[in-house]
Structure formats: C-alpha cells, structure tokens
Amino acid sequence: MEANIVVLGTESVGKSALTVRLLTRRFIGEYGDIESIYSHSFIADGREITLNIWDSPYSEDSSVETSLFQKKVRWADSFILVYSICDRASFNSISRFIQTIKSTKDYLGADKPPIVIVGNKRDLHHRRTVLSEEGRLLALNTDCHFYEVSAAENYHSVLMVFHGLVDRMKDAKLTTKRPLGFKGIVKSMSAVFARRRTDSF
C-alpha cells in the first residue's frame, strides 16, 4: 500500500525537521533548501505501507496561488500543515492552506484527503505565542486533526502524526496512485542522511 503526503507550512516552521525525524529518527538541526519527495516504508498491522512525502522549502513561489501548489494538492492523498507555536504568522497562514486545499476540485467527494494540523517546536514553550487551544479549535472548525509536537525533542510524537494519517486514509485511496507527471524534482540528500530515494515517478 502506498500513500502520498504533502507537508506544507511557511518558512522555518520545521517541515523538513519533521520529515527527517520520521525518516531517520534524528534531529540534525539544519536542513537547507531542498525540494524532495522521500519514500518511507514500514509495517503496520502486518501490511507494508509506503509513504511518499513531499517536502518543499517555503517561498512566495510556493504560495497557494501557484500551479505547483495545485499540482501538490492533486498528487496528495493527505496533508500535514505545519506551524510553529512561537510564530503567530505561521499559524495564521494555516487557514489559507486549508481553504485552498478544500477549494480544489479533487478535494470534493466522499473520500476527502485527511488534513492534519501540526503545531511544532513544543520544546520552545517559553517562547510560545500560539496556545494549544487555538490549534485545537482551528482543527475542530475545519474538520482537521491536530497535534502539538517537537521535532527537536520527540521522535514518538512525530511518528504518531504520520501513522495517525495513515489510519485515516481509506484503503481504496491508499492503493490508487496517480502519476506525478514530472521528473527531476527529487534531489539527492544522501550525503546528509541515509534514506531511500524515490526517483521512479
């Protein structure tokens, strides 16, 4: 079984840190500006699940108006929307991501892709500017799920986010893969950390 996950959020909220934590169990501190689709396999309930995780550095070019954004929405079976609990603006941008995802054609229908809102950098609670309740309320109002995590300090909570998403994706959705239609977006980060590369799209 296979599922496509897109990780979205504004600059420096920890999208790459979360993704790399899942893949390597490690927090390496700095991640650079690499657009990648990573492939991660694990066994759940006796079945092999492969997650294709699309992580992009945020830039104005990847804002919600662009065709690349639309492409991501069409490709995705589910979404992880990340903000930093220390960055109010990053939290404010989450609603916009949700609106845009929901307004794309592919979102309509019975099996809507699950969306998870993640408040990252929980370890920096002394610098918190977004309350947990605000995240929870936003998730409630938008029919999303919510977690607060620290990619820096806690592997387990990051694992919960990804595995929780898998549980919510319907089996049918997991098996129907759409062609990606572009090549070369995957760039090697193997010098930084060991992982499986996905270049067969």
Ligand X SMILES: Nc1nc2c(ncn2[C@@H]2O[C@H](COP(=O)(O)OP(=O)(O)OP(=O)(O)O)[C@@H](O)[C@H]2O)c(=O)[nH]1
| Residues near Mg ion, by CB under 5 A | 15-16, 57
Nearest by Cα to 115 from 100, 130, 133: 100
CB of 69 to ligand X, least distance (A): 14
What count of Cα atoms within 13 Å lies in the side-chain half-sphere of residue 119?
A: 27
Contacts of residue 120, Cβ cutoff 8 Å, sequence gap at least 6: 13, 14, 17, 18, 82, 83, 84, 85, 148, 149, 150, 151
**Binding test (CB under 6 A) with ligand X, winner from 38, 58, 75, 79:** 58
Binding to ligand X by residue 31, rule CB under 6 A? yes
Site string for ligand X, 97-126 (x = CB under 6 A): -----------------------xx-xx--
CB of 43 to ligand X, least distance (A): 27
Nearest by Cα to 96 from 58, 127, 125: 58
Residues 139-178 that bind ligand X (CB under 6 A): 150-152
Q: How far is Cα 79 from Cα 96, in angstroms, rounded to an integer?
A: 14
Partner interacting with residue 46 (select from ligand X, Mg ion, none; CB below 5-8 Å by kind): none
> Which residue of this chain has its Cβ atom nearest to ligand X in the complex?
14
Q: Give the nearer residue to ligand X in terms of CB position, either 91 or 173.
A: 91
Q: How far is Cα 86 from Cα 26, in angstroms, rounded to an integer?
A: 22
Q: Helix 155-168 vs helix 15-24: angle between axes, to the nearest 10 degrees?
A: 90
The token duo for 107 is: 């979102």
Binding to ligand X by residue 38, rule CB under 6 A? no
| Secondary structure class of 169 (helix, strand, coil) | coil
Q: Give the nearer residue to ligand X in terms of CB position, either 92 or 141.
A: 92
Binding to ligand X by residue 134, rule CB under 6 A? no
Give how many residues touch ligand X by CB under 6 A.
20
Which residues form the interface with ligand X (CB under 6 A)?
A: 9, 11-17, 29-31, 57-58, 120-121, 123-124, 150-152
